[in-house]
Amino acid sequence: MWEYTDKVMDHFLNPRNAGEMENPSAVGEVGSLACGDALRLFLKIDDKGVIQDARFQTFGCASAIASSSVLTEILKGKTVAEAEKLTNKDIAAYLGGLPKEKMHCSVMGEEALAAALKNWRGEAAPSPAAEGRLVCKCFGVTEETIRRAIRENDLKTVEDITNFTKAGGGCGECAPELESILADERARMASAAPGGRRMTNIQRMTQVTRIIDEEIRPALKKDGGDIELVDIEGVKVVVSLRGACVGCP
């Protein structure tokens, strides 16, 4: 049983602004019923770019309902410029926190808001191809979505990735690829840190090895597994899972 804050339970049991909106200025949709989570966000925006009303429809768990409910409350009265700055961390903070396994619900709120604002501007919704290569087929999560979650939330383990994006939470077939993406993105983040310079191939390999040894391998060894660096092809990191982690979800 998940441990929820009083605010989460309040917004779950007494959701604010639930239901469809007539003549909305913008609509943002994310997720899918097939994946078990879906959110549709409606916004009413006036001529001055101020959000006058916000409503939602969702299919999901208590965290999904609470995240959607509190998001609509946060948005009311904000300008579009202010709304653009909202992140999943803000949504979780307003709720007094979410279980780490449910952080993807707040991410879904952030993504629905971004989709709604694109719709308001008349921008076309990104095609699947524009979102990048599909990595997790069970939940329809692309590589770019995974990389963005790693960067924006400083994710350090595959478990973190699953908690924030649901990738790897189904059959587990994508687990080795998630390890590769994680190692590569962490190395990129390190090289892009203030004062960082463009790394040579040797520096990149050293950095990737350090991240695997210090951040990824310890977590895998707790479950009797291990990870081996196979190769680095440009910016692509290839790894192989060992021990109990071979074929694990």
> Is residue 134 a contact partner of residue 145, using CB atoms and an 8 Å limit?
no
User: Is residue 105 annotated as a catalytic residue, yes or no?
Assistant: yes
d(CA 87, CA 68): 13
d(CA 187, CA 235): 9
Type of residue found at 6: D
Q: Which residues pair with 37 in a beta bridge?
A: 32
Torsion of CA 160, 165, 168, 174, to 10 degrees: -110
d(CA 221, CA 219): 6
Which among 247, 196, 244, 205 has a CA at the least distance from the CA of 224? Answer: 244
Burial of 63 (0-12, 13-18, 19+ CB in 10 A): buried
Which among 94, 118, 92 has a CA at the least distance from the CA of 105? Answer: 92
Q: What are phi and psi of 207, to 5 degrees?
A: -70, -45
Among candidate residues 105, 136, 174, 245, the one labeled active-site is 105
d(CA 92, CA 77): 20
d(CA 113, CA 108): 9
Q: What are phi and psi of 147, to 5 degrees?
A: -65, -40
Residues that are catalytic: 35, 105
